[in-house]
């Protein structure tokens, strides 16, 4: 009688994924979704006067056009071309697909997804420290803390999984 191989990383029936892991998965999905919407927003601006749109947004939001950030917004809008919009939309789709694949893996407790999430969140930490140091703001602090929490949490999950694997291996070798 043949024995069917067990699927690696498949949770037992009735097993519930850790709440934190599902929370990180949802967070990654939201990030991908927001960037995807922004990418589609880029496509809606194709073949339009982006600077005129920027001016109407500032007017609609009742922002003083002489405000420094409004001026920066106008200046950047004047540099937008159809090629840049298409590139922005393309990068948004690629980023969103990566985040959605990561979401799937985390939701289904795939080991590779946990590693991917730790590495991808960890890569941003030096940049966030730099940003926090040079341009401190509450938002920069929240982004930094969120990424640190995700890296620490997933790192602890990976370490616990490694300990369980080592213990199971030692038990098999002891028999």
pLDDT in tens, 60-99: 999 999 999 899 999 999 999 999 999 999 999 999 999 9
In a domain, 155, yes or no: yes
For 142, the domain range is 110-169
Question: Residue 3: what pLDDT?
Answer: 47
> Domains in the chain: how many in total?
1
User: Is 16 within a domain?
Assistant: no
pLDDT of the residue at 25: 95
pLDDT, one tens digit per residue, over 35-62 is: 999 999 999 999 999 999 999 999 999 9
Band (8; pLDDT cuts 50, 70, 90)? very low
What integer pLDDT is reported at residue 10 of this predicted model?
Answer: 54
Task: Dump pLDDT digits (tens) for 114-133.
Answer: 999 999 989 999 999 999 99
Q: Looking at residue 161, what is its pLDDT?
A: 87
Query: 134 lies in a domain?
Result: yes
- The pLDDT mean for the chain works out to 89
Indicate whether 40 belongs to any domain.
Answer: no
What's this model's pTM, rounded to 2 decimal places? 0.77
Residue 161 lies in a domain: yes
**95 assigned to some structural domain:** no
* Domain-located, residue 49: no
Burial class (CB in 10 A: 0-12, 13-18, 19+), 136: exposed
Please enumerate in sequence order all residues whose Cβ is within 8 A of that of 17, keeping only pairs 6 or more positions apart, or say none: 11, 107, 108, 109
147 is a domain residue: yes
Give the residue carrying structure tokens 């803390």. 145
At residue 126, the pLDDT reads 94
Would you state the pLDDT for residue 162? 87
Predicted confidence (pLDDT) at residue 1 exceeds the cutoff of 50: no
Q: Which two tokens stand for residue 89?
A: 């939309």
């Amino acid at each position: 009688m043949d024995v069917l191989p067990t699927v690696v990383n498949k949770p037992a029936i009735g097993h519930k994924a850790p709440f934190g892991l599902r929370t990180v998965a949802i967070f990654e999905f939201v990030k991908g979704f927001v960037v995807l919407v922004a990418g589609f927003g880029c496509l809606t601006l194709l073949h339009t006067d982006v600077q005129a749109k920027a001016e109407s947004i500032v007017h609609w939001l009742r922002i003083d056009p002489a405000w420094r950030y409004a001026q920066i917004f106008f200046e950047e809008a004047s540099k937008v071309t159809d090629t840049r919009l298409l590139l922005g939309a393309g990068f948004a789709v690629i980023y969103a697909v990566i985040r959605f694949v990561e979401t799937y893996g985390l939701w289904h407790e795939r080991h590779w997804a946990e590693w991917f999430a730790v590495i991808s969140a960890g890569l941003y930490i030096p940049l966030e420290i730099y940003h926090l140091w040079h341009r401190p703001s509450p938002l920069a602090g929240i982004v930094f803390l969120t990424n640190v929490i995700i890296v620490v949490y997933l790192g602890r999950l990976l370490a616990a999984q490694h300990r369980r694997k080592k213990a199971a291996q030692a038990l098999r070798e002891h028999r």
